[in-house]
Structure 1
Amino acid sequence: MSFDIMLPFWGEPKYLFEAVESVLAQDSEDWHLTVIDDRYGDPQVPQYLAALDDPRITYLENDENLGVAGNFRRSIELATSDYLMVMGCDDVLLPNYVSTMQRAIATNPQVDIIQPGVETIDSAGKIRWNLADRIKYKLRPNTSAGPQILTGDNAASRLLVGDWLYWPSLTFRRETIAATPFREGYEVVLDLGVVIDILMGGGKLLLLPEVTFRYRRHDESVSSVKLLDGSRFAEERSYFAQARQAAQARGWKKSARAANTYLTSRAHALALLPQAIKHRNKNGAKTLVRHAFGRL
């Protein structure tokens, strides 16, 4: 079974090269890698890929900078296999990623999203588990007894309590993700919104115990720079209000309750409040307090 690995690129080339090397190291050869250069402008990238001279690798450059959402859309448009992943340009596949996905799909052909086991690494590639990762681990359903398939209210409510998915590690059924557009007006919660929409459309989420992916954390990520100014949480409040309404319309009581309380998100805002005060970020502190103690 052919498998598409889509790799939008903007940033430090050395991380991209490491990501590409991890694809080349797969223990399954039935894959195609598409590198989408979002107008970063570093000649090292096309030169490096051309030197590889591998017919399984395609290099494309966007006509204009598309950003996160735009590159995800283009990745879906360009994919031709039934299943695909949109990999982060600084993340790393373990050698068993593609083969594990292929076995999972063969065993569970009805699933729409697959979440494998994930390790997180720092800028130097060392395995690091910060507080967010520990919380994700606690919230993630237990797969020690084997893979789990989650659907409906049960799946959505678990994610609305706290998003324990690692977006760049996910494999999607192309037909499903192509029919589920990003919600307009969001940056940080784009990924959660898409997954919840797939679940509300009857989609199935498969969780695997096998660790196949390394997710790299940087302090300068889009979500982290929006933390202290509170803009991330304003966006989350808006999304949770929409999710609550959608859940209520479907009669999904657990999901509506989880969206209404958004406990993990509140706790996150509260934990950041001392930093906002320390940095004398008055507006950010107000937004954090409102998010932590306010109502939708």
Structure 2
Amino acid sequence: MPKISVLMPVYNTREEYLREAIESILAQTFTDFEFLIYNDGSTDPRVEEVVKSYSDPRIVYTAGERNLGISGARNRLLDMARGEYLAVMDHDDFSYPSRLEKEVEFLDAHPEVGVLNTQFRTEDCTESSHIAMDDISIKKALMMHCGNMCHPSCMLRRSVLEKHNIRYEEMFSPSEDHALFCRLIPHTKFAALPEVLFRYRSWSGNTSHRQAKKMEAATQGVLSFARRDNPELWAMAQTHIVRTWRYRFCELVILSKEQTWREKKWKLFGIIPICRVKESLPHIDYL
């Protein structure tokens, strides 16, 4: 059995992005993994050609005859996985070489943690995350949005998902990752590594850009059950700073943004307030 199953769905991915994603996994310093790639009914034949151009025996490639959608594709990969840990990976992002090694080291040392996140940067490296690292802060952040979690940089403990029969839910796509995290809140602890171990590609092909309205509606559904099932966390989250972004130039912080439930604040050089926007409470219909 491999220690890790790396799960990567692909669909009509641009060749240069797909190659970079695949090669970033094959170059990992931790080598005991299976690399499961599921082609979710791509209409572009080059996707299969790119995957099959790699001869690494750790790659297990499967092609679906029809498009299942992102939740269906991710669940198909869950069914295929044999590893103790599940490393999520998207087809257009990049994992730094030590990502798997450091995630495995942490999970081996912390058996109570079932979801491990990492710090990450955007493609041009000018925008870096400063995500919460402790269990309660991460869970409080999930009461507002999924922005504090970078799903494709996460490693999950497979036994927790199987024990509680938690999978990706189609009704919440394309916020299926947020729903999965919220379902896991009562069953395991969350944590994050302080190192930047992942690079997220933000471009017009991202689901968050192509399906923005659908994602917004799905997120409201996720928040509905999350707040219903976790009232204490929701009460604490309302005034908690859940997300901080820092925009850098030559490692100097030029602009930062702090977001709470009630407002957003922008600061110049991280200390000089330049803008503050109050936010109203959206209507939530609890299921």
TM over 0.5: yes
Aligned residue pairs total: 248
Does the C-alpha gap of structure 1 residues 189 and 85 become closer, same or farther in structure 2, counting only changes over 3 Å? same
Match of 2:26 among 24, 27, 34: 24
Q: Say which SS state the counterpart of residue 112 (structure 2) adopts.
A: coil
Does the C-alpha gap of structure 1 residues 244 and 260 become closer, same or farther in structure 2, counting only changes over 3 Å? farther
Match of 1:107 among 103, 106, 109: 109
Does the C-alpha gap of structure 1 residues 192 and 51 become closer, same or farther in structure 2, counting only changes over 3 Å? closer
2:195 alignment partner in structure 1 = 210
Q: Are 1:6 and 2:7 an aligned pair? A: yes
What root-mean-square deviation, in Å, do the aligned CA atoms of Structure 1 and Structure 2 show?
2.8
CA deviation profile, 1:57-87 (whole Å, cap 9, x unmatched): 1111012111111111111111100101221
- In 2: Cα distance, 1:98 partner to 1:241 partner: 33
1:51 alignment partner in structure 2 = 53
Does the C-alpha gap of structure 1 residues 45 and 295 become closer, same or farther in structure 2, counting only changes over 3 Å? closer
2:283 alignment partner in structure 1 = 295
Q: Are 1:171 and 2:155 an aligned pair? A: yes
Alignment TM-score, normalising by the size of structure 1? 0.74
2:125 alignment partner in structure 1 = 127
2:269 alignment partner in structure 1 = none
Q: CA deviation at 1:156?
A: 2.2
Contact 1:162–1:265 under 8 Å retained in 2? no
Q: CA deviation at 1:184?
A: 4.8
Q: Are 1:196 and 2:188 an aligned pair? A: no
- In 1: Cα distance, 2:261 partner to 2:179 partner: 15
Q: CA deviation at 1:120?
A: 1.3
1:76 alignment partner in structure 2 = 78
Does the C-alpha gap of structure 1 residues 39 and 244 become closer, same or farther in structure 2, counting only changes over 3 Å? same
Flag structure 1 segments of 5+ consecutive residues without an equivalent: 142-147, 269-290
Q: Say which SS state the counterpart of residue 185 (structure 1) adopts.
A: helix
2:234 alignment partner in structure 1 = 255
- In 2: Cα distance, 1:238 partner to 1:50 partner: 39
Contact 1:243–1:256 under 8 Å retained in 2? no
Does the C-alpha gap of structure 1 residues 235 and 256 become closer, same or farther in structure 2, counting only changes over 3 Å? farther
Letter in structure 1 aligned against 2:49? Q
Does the C-alpha gap of structure 1 residues 8 and 259 become closer, same or farther in structure 2, counting only changes over 3 Å? farther
